């Protein structure tokens, strides 16, 4: 029997598969009056939704609405986005960068080498802890180039990128690394966190905010007793199984803010859940998320204990980034010991840092701090003014929290509250998505 030869057939098939896997990206300013529509079609892969959302949030775009739908091995995401001022995207450079970034999400983004040394720290939060950390780094001649610090439920997670003060190079000497790790671990342990304080060093860089979520998840911050109760701002999360369709339906209702969708999808992805379908809407300052999920093996949530764990983890994912306290912005010429001096001043005046973002560019330091008093309450105005005078009124300024524009079209569909959520049929969601995409005239008649 003579085998039939199809010259080049395998190569052509490979090319077809590659073309199918490359996301098709459409950015349209004509569909919606108040937002830019970003549509992404691609082969479905675990984590690809998170990567698409990550591209949008890294550009500080506000997601006003979103529709997520998958069919077999293919998925389609539609996002309605604006800039920080609530305007459509008109900058061609931003649009071009967005298109190129979304078109490469199928490749995945492995950790890359960096010219910085990454320090990962987790432990029990306390007043002055950050001051002690930066003091140790200054003493060991480590220059802090970037850093992000989150606190939640009495725990702290920090990712700090440093380089050697003298050489300007990443720190690779094993003895110095051991010294840094040991000193920082002692600081984090304090007197009551001997078992749970952790420090580690990496020469690769991952997505900082995703890593912070992973660190706090590993630290099990979601199980710990909240230090403060914020009933008015606490997210409401419900999880129900839709047995007939084999989905678990997650509903989240909370105050709207930047990067909310990223935080939720990040947590679900790292817990090995896949979002198959979903709708995200915002009304005034409230966000409503309805997500249809399964495990990566295709099964829904299987027990009450697992359901409660998902609820706890999603609540924690929303709360970690919630900004507590007064936002202070420090903009000044970078210098050695700057962070150690500034955070020591906070500590000496009884201010606790609940969140921080540190960055330097061209010898200019731009640092954001959210501070409360030692008990977690609003800081006294006189204390804030005293701290500003000591650090420099022109350098340290009080900034209002950024507002998410809530421009809405008249008659826009309101989200369904999740307090008494009723499971909607999947067909209804898909018809509504098609209607919003302009593919049918009325989803009620589809």
- Which pLDDT tens digits describe the chain residue by residue (446 residues)? 444 443 444 456 545 555 556 789 999 999 999 999 999 998 888 899 999 999 999 999 999 999 999 877 888 999 999 999 999 999 999 999 999 999 988 665 555 557 889 999 999 999 999 999 999 999 999 999 999 999 999 999 999 999 999 898 999 899 999 999 999 999 998 766 655 788 888 877 779 999 999 999 999 999 976 655 445 678 999 999 999 999 999 999 999 999 999 999 999 999 999 999 999 999 989 999 999 999 999 999 999 999 999 999 999 999 999 878 999 999 999 999 999 999 999 999 999 999 999 999 888 999 999 999 999 898 999 999 999 999 999 999 998 644 443 343 334 444 443 333 334 444 444 445 444 444 434 433 44
Are 18 and 106 within 8 A, CB to CB? Answer: no
- Candidates 323, 372, 377; CA nearest to 349 is 372
Burial class of residue 317 in the structure, from the number of CB atoms within 10 Å of its CB (0-12 exposed, 13-18 middle, 19+ buried): buried
CA distance 46 to 56: 18
CA 333 to each of CA 133, 329, 330, 365, 375: distance values in angstroms, whole numbers, following the listed order: 21, 13, 10, 6, 32
CA distance 260 to 319: 10
Are 50 and 62 within 8 A, CB to CB? Answer: no
Model confidence, pTM:
0.83
H or E segment to which residue 287 belongs: strand 286-295
pLDDT of the residue at 112: 56
Q: Which two tokens stand for residue 43?
A: 């082969």
- Candidates 366, 373, 288; CA nearest to 334 is 366
CA distance 163 to 360: 12
The DSSP letter of residue 74 is E
Placement of tokens 């419900």 in the chain:
238
Are 112 and 202 within 8 A, CB to CB? Answer: no
pLDDT of the residue at 439: 40
Q: Which two tokens stand for residue 76?
A: 């389609």
> Would you call 83 helix, strand, or coil by DSSP?
coil
Q: Which two tokens stand for residue 51?
A: 């990567």
For β-strands 273-283 and 236-242, DSSP reports them as unpaired
Domain ranges of the chain: 18-109+229-321+408-436, 127-203+324-399
Are 151 and 118 within 8 A, CB to CB? Answer: no
Placement of tokens 């029997």 in the chain:
1
pLDDT of the residue at 190: 73
CA distance 158 to 150: 6
CA distance 160 to 174: 18
CATH 3.40.140.10 given to domain 127-203+324-399:
no
- Candidates 29, 81, 74; CA nearest to 48 is 74
Strand partners, 148: 159, 357
CA distance 235 to 87: 27
CB atoms within 10 A of CB 165: 16
Q: Which two tokens stand for residue 279?
A: 């709708």
pLDDT of the residue at 413: 40
3-state DSSP percent of the chain in helix, strand and coil, to 5: 30, 30, 35
């Amino acid at each position: 029997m003579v085998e039939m030869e199809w010259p080049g057939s395998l190569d052509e098939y490979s090319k077809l598969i590659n073309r199918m896997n490359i996301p098709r990206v459409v950015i349209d300013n004509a569909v919606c009056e108040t937002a830019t529509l970003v549509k992404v079609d691609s082969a479905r892969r675990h984590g690809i939704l998170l990567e698409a959302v990550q591209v949008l949030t890294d550009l500080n775009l506000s997601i006003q609405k979103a529709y997520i739908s998958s069919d077999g091995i293919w998925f389609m995401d539609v996002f309605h986005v604006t800039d920080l001022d609530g305007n459509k995207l008109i900058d061609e450079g931003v649009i071009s960068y967005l298109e190129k970034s979304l078109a490469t999400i199928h490749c995945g983004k492995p950790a890359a080498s960096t010219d910085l040394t990454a320090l990962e720290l987790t432990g029990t939060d306390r007043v002055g802890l950050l001051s002690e950390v930066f003091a140790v780094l200054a003493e060991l001649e480590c220059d802090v180039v970037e850093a992000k610090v989150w606190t939640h439920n009495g725990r702290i997670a920090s990712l700090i990128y440093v380089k050697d003060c003298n050489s300007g190079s990443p720190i690779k000497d094993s003895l110095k690394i051991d010294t840094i790790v040991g000193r920082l671990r002692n600081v984090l342990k304090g007197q009551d966190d001997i078992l749970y304080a952790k420090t580690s060093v990496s020469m690769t860089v991952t997505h900082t905010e995703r890593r912070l979520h992973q660190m706090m998840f590993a630290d099990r911050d979601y199980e710990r007793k909240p230090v403060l109760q914020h009933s008015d701002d606490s997210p409401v999360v419900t999880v129900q199984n839709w047995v007939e369709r084999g989905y678990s339906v997650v509903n989240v209702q909370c105050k709207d803010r930047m990067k909310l969708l990223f935080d939720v999808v990040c947590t679900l992805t790292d817990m090995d859940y896949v979002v198959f379908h979903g709708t995200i809407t915002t009304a005034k300052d409230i966000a409503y998320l309805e997500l249809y999920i399964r495990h990566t093996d295709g099964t829904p949530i299987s027990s009450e204990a697992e359901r409660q764990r998902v609820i706890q983890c999603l609540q924690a994912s929303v709360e970690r980034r919630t900004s507590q306290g007064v936002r202070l912005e420090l903009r000044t010429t970078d210098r050695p010991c700057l962070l150690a001096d500034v955070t020591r001043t906070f500590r000496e005046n009884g201010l606790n840092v609940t969140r921080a973002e540190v960055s330097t560019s061209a010898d200019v330091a731009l640092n954001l701090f959210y501070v409360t008093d030692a008990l977690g309450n609003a800081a006294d105005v006189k204390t804030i003014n005293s701290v500003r005078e000591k650090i420099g009124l022109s350098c340290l300024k009080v900034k209002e929290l950024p507002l998410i524009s809530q421009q809405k079209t008249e008659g826009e569909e309101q989200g369904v509250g999740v307090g008494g959520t009723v499971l909607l049929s999947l067909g209804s969601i898909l018809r509504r998505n098609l209607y919003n995409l302009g593919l049918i005239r009325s989803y009620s008649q589809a």
